[in-house]
Chain A
Amino acid sequence: MLRLDAVSKRYADGTVAVHDLTLDVARGEVCVLVGPSGCGKTTTMRMVNRLIEPTSGRIVLDGRDVTHVDPVALRRGIGYVIQQVGLFPHQTIEANVATVPALLGWDRARARARVRELLELVGLDPEVYARRYPHELSGGQRQRVGVARALAADPPVLLMDEPFGAVDPIARDRLQAEFLRLQAAVRKTVVFVTHDIEEAVRLGDRIAVLRQGGYLEQYAPPRVLLGAPATAFVADFVGSDRGLKRLAVTPIRVADLEQPPVVPASATAGEAGAALDAAGADWAMVVDAAGAPVGWLTRPGLVPQPAPDPVPVTASLKTAFSRLLQADTGWVAVVDGASYLGVLTPATVHEALRRSVAAETPPGSAP
């Protein structure tokens, strides 16, 4: 979909911002450019819509070399979400979002309908917000409007330049979740720039780690990046806690879960004791008639006690591990919807993580 082919950017004073970079982004994929400041990640992104002209190389968008087309027309077909949002303060939210449709000459009714649709998509009520001015919105809301504006003309490609850098951590977390939800719905080809490796791991389908001077160190999915950093620079950049970060991108596998004996909530203490004896276990899970975990029991009382909040099977190992650390039982139940699947223990978390690292590590290389 988007291909950077040996692209370089050299300034007149001799500094090289991007060095012979080749990068492929598949349709509907989120490519995160990450690296320390001065690594050329923003420069790389801006060369895609020609806010910065590459010195050499080709940029191919949908099979078309865009290095020589009219930049203004090109930009109207590429969504751009700007650092610090960059909304126009003198225009209403509606006018802001309708910027590109207006440039493309859509009629008013069509533009207006599109604005309503987009505001709803990003979770802002058009009745409330369309007529407001940007300063009347919170930072997080403004960022949503920024995303809506970039999506206005339904461009296939979206460029996002540290879009969540200017909001507080809580709003950022929410916006990231929102972005993933939105991306699942609109499936754009996204180039996303950030300096935050956590954000990259959370949002990226593939992550390109760049080093000062615009050298590409590694371009790989987050799991591979964290499990098998290609170079010392990448290992250092992803951090010594990359094992922990991996948790965020490793799913829960039902096969990994432990299966303690299960006792129906209607069972008597005698039946429960028999179940423990039969399994040779010292505790049992109690589930109700619908299969939802309601508690657990152990000797000597054999009375059901409340269990820690269960974790949905769709959650990442990170969420599950966090829940596990908070639980004083030493385990946490995993559920699919409401029904009980098994329990996660520190040993199973470790096992799952080790196996997924092994799966991505090429034989012979250091983990």
Chain B
Amino acid sequence: MTEPTGQARPEPIKAVPVRHPGRWVGIVVVAILTAMFLHMLLTNDAFQWQFMFDNMFSEPVLKGAWTTLWVTVVAMILGVVIGVIIAVMRLSPNPVISSAAFAYTWFFRAVPRVVLLVLFGNLGILYAEVGFGLPFGEQLLGLFGLEGSGQIFGVDANKILSGLVAGLLGLSLSEGAYMGEIVRAGIQSIDPGQAEAAQALGMGRGLTMQRIVLPQAMRVIVPPTGNETIAMLKDTALLAFVPVTNELFFQLQAIGSRTFQVFPMLVAACLWYLSMTSVLMVGQYFLEKRFARGVQGRAKEKLLKATVPTGAGIE
């Protein structure tokens, strides 16, 4: 030892951990409440666990779950597409285009989804027939003294505007309004220098949006879109108002009403939505990871930086 003589070694510090009595009280309270809740779940007969599990996976319920899933996916895809279009329109320097986008957003955000779905379910009253052709075709042809409607093809509105199509339409249009705002926020979060750089290198407006702005905006867009998807999954329960009957919640409730076992089926609905939402959350995690490429502060890259010295000997 090379310790200088005559100098006492400092005594080891007696470190006393800071006490957190409040935390302990909290833990005890939470533990007791959890125990009470579990006890209630297991002992209260109204839950009818066996009955619930027997009926939770019956064929109509599984069909309903499938409907819920695909309606969610399709409505979200349509919603995102509408949202991107609305966002780009909103940011247009042309006042007509941007106010049209504003009006769309205003309307579809202001009307509750339930009302919207009921409205779309009854749209058949407004249009007897849905057709594609010349706008104002009948009137225009009339001007030239011709007979006809200028319509290329048409279908009975009551056939397509009922049930699922009306529901899908209502959900997608409403989602488009929300997604429009999310996408707009994402686009605006990107440094205008990026678009300028892209243009200076010879990209047109469309290409700049598609290759430079939107991919970067995705990082801002994806998390709220995940929330929207989860909200959409839950909102498919509103399809019952269109009415669409082969949807998850309606099916579970139907079993409940038929058997007079309402509560177990409500619990079953909770479990179904919980599990489907959890799956979506996993998907969201991977999406976020994908679009965080090239962003500082990611754990993986920090690790990489620590192990590989960047720019050794060059800068």
Binding site for B on A (CB under 8 A): 49, 51, 72-77, 80, 82-84, 86-91, 99-100, 103, 123-125, 132-138, 140-141, 149, 159, 171
Among listed B17-25, B143-151, B293-301, interface-contacting one = B293-301
A49 to chain B, nearest CB (A): 6
Chain B, range 284-315, C-beta contacts under 8 Å to A = 291, 293-296, 301, 304-305, 310-311, 314-315
Closest to B199 in A: A51
Which residues on A sit within 8 Å (CB–CB) of B291? 90
Cα(A149)–Cα(B202), bound, Å? 12
Taking A100-B201, A133-B301 as given, write out 19 further A-B residue pairs in contact, using a Cβ cutoff of 8 Å, ordered by the A residue number.
A49-B200, A51-B199, A72-B202, A72-B203, A74-B202, A75-B200, A80-B197, A84-B193, A86-B193, A86-B196, A88-B212, A91-B294, A99-B201, A103-B202, A133-B293, A135-B295, A137-B310, A138-B311, A149-B201
Q: Known interface pairs A51-B196, A133-B293. Does A138 touch B310 (Cβ–Cβ under 8 Å)? A: yes
A215 to chain B, nearest CB (A): 26
The 6 closest A-B pairs by CB, nearest first: A76-B202, A86-B197, A75-B202, A133-B294, A80-B200, A89-B294
Contact B315 A171 (CB under 8 A): yes
Which residues on B sit within 8 Å (CB–CB) of A99? 201
Which residues on B sit within 8 Å (CB–CB) of A133? 293-294, 301
B215 within 8 A of A: yes
Contact A134 B202 (CB under 8 A): no
Q: List 24 A-B contacts (CB under 8 A).
A: A51-B199, A51-B200, A72-B202, A72-B203, A76-B201, A76-B202, A77-B202, A80-B200, A80-B201, A82-B193, A82-B197, A86-B193, A86-B200, A91-B294, A103-B201, A133-B301, A134-B294, A135-B296, A136-B305, A140-B315, A141-B311, A141-B314, A141-B315, A171-B315
Which residues on B sit within 8 Å (CB–CB) of A90? 215-216, 291, 293-294
Closest to B308 in A: A128
Q: Mark B197-214, 1 if CB is under 8 A from A, else 0.
A: 111111110010000100
Count of CB-CB pairs between chains A and B under 8 Å: 81
A178 to chain B, nearest CB (A): 11
B194 within 8 A of A: yes
Closest to A88 in B: B212
Contact B310 A75 (CB under 8 A): no
Closest to A81 in B: B200
Closest to A103 in B: B202
Q: Known interface pairs A138-B310, A141-B314. Does A89 touch B295 (Cβ–Cβ under 8 Å)? A: yes
Which residues on B sit within 8 Å (CB–CB) of A77? 202
Cα(A86)–Cα(B190), bound, Å? 12
B208 to chain A, nearest CB (A): 10
Contact A138 B315 (CB under 8 A): yes
Contact B315 A73 (CB under 8 A): no
Which residues on B sit within 8 Å (CB–CB) of A88? 194, 197-198, 212, 216, 294
Q: Known interface pairs A138-B310, A141-B311. Does A103 touch B193 (Cβ–Cβ under 8 Å)? A: no
Cα(A149)–Cα(B197), bound, Å? 11
Contact A89 B201 (CB under 8 A): no
Which residues on A sit within 8 Å (CB–CB) of B197? 80, 82, 86-88
Cα(A137)–Cα(B305), bound, Å? 10
Chain B, range 158-212, C-beta contacts under 8 Å to A = 193-194, 196-204, 207, 212
Cα(A341)–Cα(B207), bound, Å? 60
Cα(A201)–Cα(B58), bound, Å? 83
Cα(A89)–Cα(B293), bound, Å? 8
A179 to chain B, nearest CB (A): 15
Closest to B301 in A: A136
Which residues on A sit within 8 Å (CB–CB) of B200? 49, 51, 75, 80, 82, 86, 159
Which residues on A sit within 8 Å (CB–CB) of B310? 132, 136-138
Cα(A132)–Cα(B193), bound, Å? 21
Q: Mark B82-93, 1 if CB is under 8 A from A, else 0.
A: 000000000000
Q: Known interface pairs A134-B294, A140-B315, A141-B311. Does A72 touch B204 (Cβ–Cβ under 8 Å)? A: yes
Which residues on B sit within 8 Å (CB–CB) of A91? 294
Which residues on B sit within 8 Å (CB–CB) of A125? 314
Which residues on B sit within 8 Å (CB–CB) of A73? 202
Which residues on A sit within 8 Å (CB–CB) of B204? 72
Q: Known interface pairs A82-B196, A136-B301, A141-B314. Does A75 touch B294 (Cβ–Cβ under 8 Å)? A: no
A120 to chain B, nearest CB (A): 12
Cα(A86)–Cα(B304), bound, Å? 24
Which residues on A sit within 8 Å (CB–CB) of B293? 90, 133
Cα(A42)–Cα(B197), bound, Å? 14
B187 to chain A, nearest CB (A): 14
B242 to chain A, nearest CB (A): 40
Which residues on B sit within 8 Å (CB–CB) of A76? 201-202
Cα(A141)–Cα(B313), bound, Å? 12
Of A90, A133, A159, the most chain B CB neighbours within 10 A belong to A90
B220 to chain A, nearest CB (A): 12
Of B202, B295, B314, the most chain A CB neighbours within 10 A belong to B202
Cα(A133)–Cα(B212), bound, Å? 15
Contact A89 B196 (CB under 8 A): no
Of A83, A88, A133, A141, the most chain B CB neighbours within 10 A belong to A88
Contact B194 A137 (CB under 8 A): no
Closest to A84 in B: B193
B216 to chain A, nearest CB (A): 5
Q: Known interface pairs A75-B200, A76-B202, A133-B293. Does A89 touch B301 (Cβ–Cβ under 8 Å)? A: no
